[in-house]
């Protein structure tokens, strides 16, 4: 009888680390490395078409999607940068 080595869920799910990048907008600073930002939430999501789905996901209430960073390898964590919604609305009024 055949055996499956390893956990299949590791191939189907990704670890998502949601970080607050609002200070970059508030202070008009260039981006920092992803692991320097405060973590708002960590969540596991299906890997299939994740990059296309992330901009439409509401990962944290009151925050809007800004960017995402894919891991270097297959088993790394994804970083998703989000901005406070009120800062985004202020920025659009000045444009």
Q: Rounded to whole angstroms, how far apart are CA atoms 23 and 26?
A: 5
- The answer to whether residue 50 sits within a structural domain is yes
Share of the chain above pLDDT 70, in %: 84
Domain-embedded: residue 7:
no
Region 68-89: what's the mean pLDDT?
86
Does the residue 2 lie in any domain? Answer: no
- Residue written as tokens 């390898």? 73
- Cβ count near 36 (within 10 Å): 9
Residue 80 lies in a domain: yes
In the chain, how many domains are there?
1
User: Does a structural domain hold residue 6?
Assistant: no
Q: Provide the CB-side half-sphere exposure for 67 (13 A, CA).
A: 11
pLDDT at 79 over 90: yes
pTM of this prediction? 0.82
> For residue 1, is it within any domain?
no
**Is residue 82 a contact partner of residue 88, using CB atoms and an 8 Å limit?**
no
Across the range 29-52, mean pLDDT stands at 93
pLDDT in tens, 13-40: 999 999 999 999 888 889 899 989 999 9
Domain housing 48: 12-94
Confidence class for position 49, pLDDT limits 50, 70, 90: very high
CA distance linking residue 14 with residue 56, whole number of Å: 17
């Amino acid at each position: 009888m055949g055996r499956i080595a390893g956990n299949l869920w590791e191939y189907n799910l990704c670890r998502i680390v949601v970080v607050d990048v609002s200070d970059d907008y508030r202070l008009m600073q260039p981006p920092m490395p992803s692991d320097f930002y405060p973590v708002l939430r960590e969540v596991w999501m299906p890997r299939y078409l994740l990059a296309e789905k992330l901009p439409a996901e509401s990962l944290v209430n009151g925050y809007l999607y800004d960017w995402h960073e894919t891991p270097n390898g297959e088993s790394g964590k994804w970083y998703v940068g989000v901005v406070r919604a009120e800062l985004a609305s202020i920025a659009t009024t000045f444009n």
